[in-house]
Amino acid sequence: MSLVIAQGLSKTYRTGDIDVPAIKGADFVIEPASFVAFVGPSGSGKSTLLNLIGCLDHPSSGKLTVLDTDIATLDRRAAADFRGRNIGFIFQDFNLVPVLTAYENIEYPLIMVQQWPAAKRREQVMRLLKAVDMESQANKRPDQMSGGQKQRVAVARALVSNAKMVLADEPTANLDHDTAYRIIELMRRMRDEFGTTFIFSTHDPKVMAEAETTYTLEDGRVLSRTHQEAAHA
């Protein structure tokens, strides 16, 4: 079963009297456990596409199937439930809760969305803290962390509910090159370890080189798809 299937997928924003076509008939398929980048200049439609895949927005036309679900059929509530069960998100500006520690930020979705029992929760949070190499920083708050550390916590948070897919819209835009590279490498390792599909967007060439599958967007169209086996470890 493919994870994501887009067929003639289009999204047009209506602002007053003006239609802004952001995605113009995209066709692509994303398989489970893949490591995919959408690449293109600002305004090419990357965020719009990730928002559609993340069920944060509805297509204007065409069909988008995510985990066997036609996402056009989901109302707001069903979409939120679907996201909570299946999709993790990583943001450009990390979006950690400032008053919570690294540990508590990772635990947050398990309390707010999933309501796991306490012992199971603790085990899962510790496993993720370890996976992203933040065990020794568990009690730090975001203002005591570097950008790279914050994004490592955010990667752990995106995975903590056992999401089948993690979406990351320009996750490295606020990081220096070396840190950006390390975050992408971490995401790829998490894909290997947990089998989670990662779909991210970027316009950074060093970052896009680390993807296995790259879709190039231009002006709302998918221009090309390239595939390379996992780059150097």
Interface residues with Mg ion (CB under 5 A) are 46-47
Q: How far is the CB of 9 from ligand ADP (least distance, A)?
A: 13
Binding mask 100-139 for ligand ADP (x = CB under 6 A): ----------------------------------------
Nearest residue (CB) to ligand ADP, 28 versus 194: 28
Of 34, 44, 86, 213, the one binding ligand ADP by CB under 6 A: 44
- Residue 134 interacting partner from ligand ADP, Mg ion, none (CB closer than 5 to 8 Å by kind): none
CA distances from 15 to 18, 21, 36, 60, 208 (A): 5, 11, 31, 14, 32
Dump the DSSP string for 34-72.
Answer: -EEEEE--TTSSHHHHHHHHTTSS--SEEEEEETTEEGG
Which CB sits closer to ligand ADP, 22 or 199? 22
10 vs 63: CA distance, rounded Å: 8
Q: How far apart are CA 39 and CA 61, in angstroms?
A: 22
Is position 13 an interface residue for ligand ADP (rule: CB under 6 A)?
A: yes
The amino acid sitting at 197 is T
- Verify binding: residue 15, ligand ADP, rule CB under 6 A: yes
DSSP code of 73? G
Among 25, 29, 33, 43, indicate the residue that binds ligand ADP (CB under 6 A): 43
